[in-house]
Structure 1
Amino acid sequence: MPHPAPRPFSIAARGPLAGRITVPGDKSISHRALMLGALAVGTSRITGLLEGEDVLATAAALRGMGATIIREDDGAWVVDGVGVGGLLQPESALEMGNSGTSTRLLMGLVATHPITTTFTGDASLSKRPMGRVIEPLAQMGADITASPGGRLPLMVRGIAPAVRIDYRLPVASAQVKSAVLLAGLNTPGITRVIEPVPTRDHSERMLAGFGADLTVEETGGERIIAIRGEAELQPQQITVPGDPSSAAFWAVAASIVPESDIVIANVGLNPTRAGLFTVLRAMGADIEEIDRRTVGGEPVADLRVRHAALSAIEVPHDLAPSMIDEYPILFVAAALAEGRTVARGAEELRVKESDRIAVMATALRAAGARIEEFEDGLTIEGRGGAPLAGNAHAASHLDHRIAMAMTVAGLAAIAPITIDDIAPVATSYPAFFGTLDQLTGQA
């Protein structure tokens, strides 16, 4: 799939951020709501769905396998499902664009259906390894042929009935866990996933909400998630909370730009996703939760964030799974903090949309930060609140979070930082730059 023409963007300090904003619906929950709606018997209605390119790729793939998915005039999405086991043979390859989540979770769905499915993606996604998902699905009986290195394009020849497995995750990965649980939906017996380290639990919450027979136990410090197959899912009304990964950019921006004071409404604060806010508070950030509540089984609050002097910390390794997507923007916060921040234990960053450790190290060094790079993270000597020098170019490597993180860095830079391509931001946050203008008074 060809990538759109690059869209370079330059930004330097604009002054304080102010105002009340909303962020797009949670990407992880949006994917799962569409998938489980497509497997339910009946009509599900989803409000607050993220309408970024990644989620739209999931919707298109599910339509290609028989589900009816329509966006109504009021912005709600209606999904008429085909039932567990009812996915149809797609007429063409499923084009995943840049979405690793779509690819890995849908591989799990189709692996236990008697259909053959080809997955393709853009240049960035085609570099990302899929072996960690291929391994358990192959144990269940699926026949998967991948490109060299376990990469896309790949073909999944599903099997039904599949073989139930007990699978211990070799690495902390919510995507692998979710792929196995989704495959287990159409597998006779009980499929189990053992998690040595807890990961985001959106799949467990939503599967239970749709009526799956699912249990979660903790034994010996491990989580054991068990799902009984050949399920019949019930349609649901889903309200998607705001994505904490998207809110993270504004939380850091307000923290590092003097005199800033913003409110980010309706942010999902699932404890398996909220690690960055824990770390920012430990660094001295002024983040206040307003009207904490539960929406659709997920904890939600409005966040008021005001500028504060940040101090360096050593980021606890056990928080990595709950903030793995937020490390690029954490690196920016650390570059402006007082002292030496150590952010390690995050090897997973090497195989995201880009090598986020190397890419952020290069970009922040160019902007004037002092960085030491390790295999599993970075050590950053902060500037104690002094702005970055800027006058730098940053390569996004087709990675939406790199582009957004370096945009925020530009808000704390004397001279402009130029990002080579901001087009990938549309995969998760199409309105990002409009919100930037709103918060900085340039809308």
Structure 2
Amino acid sequence: MLPAPPRPFRVVPGGPLTGEITVPGDKSISHRAVMFAGLAVGESRIEGLLEGEDVLATAAAMRAMGVGVERDADGTWRVHGVGVGGLLQPVGALEMGNSGTSTRLLMGLVSSHPITVTLTGDTSLSRRPMARVIEPLARMGADITASPGERLPLMIRGLCPAVPIRYMLPVASAQVKSAVLLAGLNAPGITTVVEPIATRDHSERMLRGFGADVTVEDSADGSVICIRGEAELRPQHIVVPGDPSSAAFWAAAALVVPGSALLIRNVLLNPTRAGLYTALRMMGGDITVENEHAVGGERVGDLRVRHSALTGIEVPPELAPSMIDEYPVLFVAAAFAQGRTIARGAHELRVKESDRIAAMLMALGDAGVSVTEHEDGLTIDGTGGEPLPGGNRVATQLDHRIAMSMAVAGLHAARPIAIDDATPIATSYPAFLDTLGRLGVPPIWLNA
């Protein structure tokens, strides 16, 4: 399938951003909801599922392996699971599009099933390394043949029964952790993952909710997560809360655009995902939580965000795992702060949909911001709340978060900022530009 033609657009600053908005369902939870429901015995219902391209790639892959996945007219998704061990041989390759989460978690699922699966992806995903996932899954018995550089396309020949292992994560990665735990679902005995640095814990929470025997204990080496294999998962009714990574764009926008005051409804408040909001509050951001409650074992609430005079800080590197996807928009917020912000400890940004450090260095630098590159982050000298000079055209490098972050930058710029392509935004937040329009700043579409 040919890639969609680019859709460049320009952001022209408007007035303050005010009112109430909602954001799409959390991407991490949406992926896992479809996968885990597909391994349950019976029908699960999912409300609020993110219907971005990444999650739809997960749904299509599960459907290709024999799982019934249907969307009702009211937006509820019904998943008819086949049980752990019940995935079937797909007819053709599974196309992952731009979704690293789909790829890495499905690698784990497939590795302990007696099937052979080929995974392919778009140009951006095919540049992303998979070695960190291949290594533990190979130890569990999967036979994985990857393209040069341990990249897609790759073929997995699963082993059933797989070999349970004890695995110490060499890097902080929820995707690697989840891949090993999912392979362990269909392995006899206990599979253990030790993570020295805590990462998002949706897999552990949701697997418990589906009935898996999962334990988490602290040790001198970090968190020890154990899963007992050959599990029988029970179908669930899941309500997906709003994605804090999507809410991050509006939170940053409200902080930097003078006069803004936004209420962002129904946002996931899981502490392993809250690093950005911690950092923004350290910078002086006025962000409060209202209507906090629990949904399916997760904290959820409304975020009230008001324009604030931000001050540059040295971002604690230990926050990195809990805000790794939000660094691009943190860099944008820092560009409007008074003084210098140093954000390091984020090596993972080099191997995301793009090299996000290099991409944001170029985008902000071209917009007139003083930026210094480090191997693991950026140092940014802010404007003290003044508009960015702007007037540049951003190379998104097929990265949705670069596109949306720099759209936020354009909301308070002296000259319009152009984004070279809106199409990547659909991977995680198809309604982003519509929401921007409802807030009074409709995008201006340009010729490609």
TM-score by length of 2: 0.98
Aligned: 1:155 with 2:189: no
How high is the sequence identity, in percent, across the aligned residues?
70
Aligned to 2:55: 55
1:362 CA drift (Å): 0.3
Partners of 2:169 and 2:177 within 8 A in 1: yes
Cα distance, 1:97 vs. partner? Answer: 0.3
- Superposition deviation, residue 438 in structure 1: 1.0
Asked whether the 8 Å contact 1:67–1:80 carries over to 2, the reply is yes
Distance 1:69 1:51 in 2: 13
In the alignment, is residue 247 of structure 1 matched against residue 247 of structure 2?
A: yes
1:76 aligns with 2:76: yes
Secondary structure of 1:389 counterpart: strand
1:278: which partner in 2? 278
Distance 2:435 2:360 in 1: 23
- Paired residues of 1:346 and 1:377 also in contact (CA < 8 A): yes
**Separation of aligned partners in 1, 2:377 and 2:2:** 31
Within 1, Cα distance between the matches of 2:12 and 2:220? 50
Letter in 2 for 1:333: A
Which residue number corresponds to residue 306 of structure 1? 306
Contact 2:433–2:442 (8 Å) recurs in 1: no
Q: Is the 8 A contact 2:388 2:412 kept in 1?
A: yes
Question: Per-residue deviation at 1:442?
Answer: 5.2
Q: For 1:73-109, what per-residue CA distance to the aligned partner results, in whole angstroms no more than 9, with x for missing partners?
A: 1100000000000000000000000000000000000
Q: 2:3 & 2:312 partners in 1: Cα distance?
A: 38
- Superposed, 1:32-431 pairs within 5 Å as 32-220=32-220, 222-431=222-431
Q: Deviations along 1:224-271, whole A, 9 cap, x unmatched?
A: 000000000000000000000000000000000000011100000100
For 2:441 and 2:356, the matched residues in 1 are separated by 31
Partner secondary structure for residue 231 of structure 1? coil
CA contact (8 A) 1:12 1:414 kept: no
Would you say the 8 A contact 1:18–1:440 is kept in 2? no
Q: Specify the code of the residue in structure 1 equivalent to 2:175.
A: Q
Secondary structure of the equivalent of 2:388? coil
Instruction: Name the SS of the counterpart of 2:16 in structure 1.
Output: coil
Give the letter for the 1:303 counterpart: L
Instruction: List structure 1 runs of 4+ shifted beyond 3 angstroms.
Output: none
Give structure 2 stretches of 5+ with no counterpart: 444-448
Distance 1:121 1:266 in 2: 32
The CA deviation at 1:412 is 1.1
Query: Does the C-alpha gap of structure 1 residues 442 and 379 become closer, same or farther in structure 2, counting only changes over 3 Å?
Result: closer
Q: Is the 8 A contact 1:12 1:390 kept in 2?
A: no
Unpaired runs of at least 5, structure 1: none
Instruction: Give, as a single letter, the amino acid of the residue that structure 2 aligns with 1:86.
Output: G
Question: Displacement of 1:126 after TM fit?
Answer: 0.4
In structure 1, the partner of 2:446 is: none
Work out the CA distance in 2 between the residues paired with 1:375 and 1:288.
33
Displacement after TM superposition at 1:221 (Å): 5.3
Q: Cα offset for 1:31?
A: 0.2
The aligned amino acid for 1:345 is: G
- 2:434 aligned residue: 434
Residue 135 of structure 1: how far off its partner (Å): 0.3
- AA of the residue aligned to 2:275: G
Aligned to 1:4: 4
Q: In 2, Cα distance between the equivalents of 1:203 and 1:64? A: 22
CA distance in 1, matches of 2:422, 2:97: 16
3-state SS, counterpart of residue 413 of structure 2: coil
Q: Secondary structure at the match of 1:241?
A: coil
SS of the equivalent of 2:247 reads helix
- State the Cα distance separating 1:2 from its structure 2 match: 3.0
* TM-score of the pair, normalised by structure 1: 0.99
| C-alpha RMSD of matched pairs (Å) | 0.9
Distance 1:442 1:345 in 2: 35
Q: After superposing the two structures, state which structure 1 stretch, 8-17 or 211-220, moved more.
A: 8-17
Distance in 2, matches of 1:227 and 1:290, equals 35
Distance in 1 (CA, whole Å) between partners of 2:402 and 2:90 is 34
SS at 2:414's partner residue?
coil
Structure 1 residue 403: Cα displacement: 0.2
Distance 2:100 2:441 in 1: 35
Q: Distance in 2 between matches of 1:66 and 1:161?
A: 20
For residue 414 of structure 1, give the secondary structure of its aligned residue in structure 2. Answer: strand
Amino acid at match of 1:256: V
SS at match of 2:434: helix
Following TM superposition, by how much is the alpha carbon of 1:435 offset from its aligned partner in structure 2, in angstroms? 0.4
Secondary structure of the corresponding residue to residue 81 of structure 1: strand
Structure 2 letter corresponding to 1:332: V
What letter matches 2:12 in structure 1? A
Secondary structure of residue in 2 paired with 1:272: helix
Which amino acid letter does the alignment assign opposite residue 95 of structure 2? Answer: E
Secondary structure of the equivalent of 1:312? coil
Number of residue pairs matched? 443
Offset at residue 13 of structure 1 (A):
1.4
Question: Is contact 2:12-2:441 (8 Å) kept?
Answer: no
**Following the alignment from structure 2 to structure 1, what is the Cα–Cα distance between the partners of residues 367 and 261?**
25
Partner of 1:14: 14
In 2, the alpha carbon distance for the partners of 1:12 and 1:347 equals 33
* DSSP-derived class of the 1:319 partner: helix
Q: Is the 8 A contact 2:398 2:421 kept in 1?
A: yes
